[in-house]
Structures are given as C-alpha cells and as structure tokens.
Amino acid sequence: MSATAPRPLLMDCDTGIDDAIALLYLCLTPGVDLRAVTTVAGNTSAEQAAVNTLQVLETAGRTDVPVAAGAATTLRGDTNEEATFVHGEGGLGGVRLPAPTAALDPRHAAELIVDTARAAGGDLEILATAPLTNLALALRAEPRLPQLVRHVTVMGGAVHHPGNISPVAEANIGHDPEAAALVLAAGWDLTVVPLDVTMRENLTEAHRLRLLAHGTPVSRLAGEILDFYFAFHEESALPFRGSACHDPLAAGIAVGEVTPKLAPRLPVTVDTADGAARGALVADTRGIHRGYPELPGANAVVVLETDGTFPELLVERLCRPGE
C-alpha cells in the first residue's frame, strides 16, 4: 500500500453510541477506505448492533459497506447483559431511525473478516471496539489471519486506570476474556487503546450543541444520540455533562490522526480466571520509572497518554462543510 493510497479498514463493533460516533467519523475522514463492518454482542445484541450499523452508515451515505452480524455469546458460551443503562434501548440512546434500505451481509462476521483480509492483499487494518469474540472466531477459522492483516487497533482494557465493569476490568476485554487473550497473543501488529486515555478525551455539552446546530444528518444524529450517553457519564463517571471518547479516539489513533504522547510497547495478556480480576488487561509496566524499555514478550503498543485535543477534531470532522 502506497503512502497516499486509501487505508483499507474493517471495524468490528457492538454499535452503541460511541461506536456510532466512531463510524460517522470514519465515514467522513479522507483516506479511509471502510471495507466492512462486523458486529458482536456487547452494548446490544449482535443483530441489533448490525441494524444500528446499517442505519448509521446510511445516515452517512455509505450503503455500499457490507455489514455482518457475528457472535451472540462469548467463546465459552456466556451471555452478557446488554448495556442499555449506558446506550439506551436499542443501543443508540433511544433515538429511532428509519429502517435501513441495505440488507445485512449473509456471512457470519468471522467469515467476513477473513474474506475481507484475503481480498485486501495484506493491507487490511482492523479496528476493534467491542468484545473480541468475532476476531477470536476468525483466528480459529484462519490461523494465518495475523499474516493477512497489516495492523489491529483494539479499544479496550485499563492499565493504571480503574475498570468500568469491575474494579480492574474494562467492558470490551472483560466481557469475553478468553477471546481477548487469544487475540492479544495472536502475533499481529497490535495497538491497544485503554481507558487510561479514552477517559481523558472528553466531549462536552458545548460540543453536542455545536453538532445539533450544524444541522446535517450526520451532525444531528451525533448530537441526538450523545444526549443519553452524556446523562450516563454525568451520573456515574464524570463531574460534568459530557462523555469519554472511547471508540472515536481509538478510530483516530487507528487512522493516524491522533499521535500518542506516550505509547510504550509492552507485554500484555488477560486474566481469564474466575476470580476478582477476571477480564483485567495485564500490562507489564514495571519499566515505568525507566522510560518503559521494551521487555521480553512485548506484544502490543499500549497508548497511555494523548494530548486531549481529539474531541475538537472529532466535532469539526462531524461538522464538515456540506456534510
């Protein structure tokens, strides 16, 4: 892939509010070739997330992107509770959109991931903003997948930051620890974007009002669905009306628009035991006082600091002239 060629990208998500904002951002970002979107159970069911994805893509004028639903349960067969208290009924903050005109791709998400990787000739990049079950299933179906994919960016985990589904576990890793462990150990070029940075890049009510005032289908949808998300964050996570930029920040890092200030390469794995630490991302940060020298077994770049300016870039992108 040349330096100026569009970046082939597949997004694997559980389309709730922040996934939807990330999708809109990707659709409006020059140089991004969104090849496919796959969905998994997480914020909502895999099937509802797929319908949400079709609706969001249609709002952005991208009915050409194939969308496939995937895993309804974890690798070991567990069913996680849907996060309606975070994302509202239906996953988009209770906002009702017209039924999509495009149909779902008939393939299982794991099959679409493998097929898209093969078709991209080694150039495909994957952005995962959900439990990693689909990627784990794709790895089982095609063990050579890490050789077929250029890069994987995972929004998930917490290193020094508290978890959000337990004191130590973040939702995307913690909702399927076995899948996450398999994906992190697969040997591909990997970047992990944890809560340490996503919780410090915050959208505010002023941003949301700008989106609504811009008045295009994309900006209006973003402003409307963020209303529910802001209410959740203000009640449980932040001292003001606003929200974290979980999935959108990971998207910004994945496409190269956000350059991390601190992103050491670390050994990372996942606690899969049935105990208090189940689902924790275990990152070896023992080199913290020596500038994080690369340790044996380092398998992922872990983003620990960004500069806090991404929300402004995000809102500007969603308010692009003519969009």
Q: Phi first, then psi: what are they for 112, rounded to 5°? A: -65, -40
Instruction: Write b or e for each residue in 176-214: b if 16 or more Cβ atoms lie within 10 A of its Cβ, otherwise e.
Output: bbbbbbbbbebebebbbbbbbbbbbbbbbeebbebbbeb
User: What residues contact residue 265 under an 8 Å CB cut-off, 6+ apart?
Assistant: 292, 294, 298, 300, 301, 302
DSSP label at 9? E
Tokens at 117, concatenated = 């990787």
> How far apart, in whole angstroms, are the C-alpha atoms of residue 118 and residue 147?
10
Count the neighbouring beta carbons within 10 Å of the beta carbon of residue 140: 13
Per DSSP, what are the bridge partners of residue 257?
none
List the helix and strand counts (H, then E) for the chain.
Answer: 13, 12
246 as an active site residue: the answer is yes
Q: Of residues 108, 175, 233, 246, which has the active-site annotation? A: 246
Q: Which residues are catalytic?
A: 246
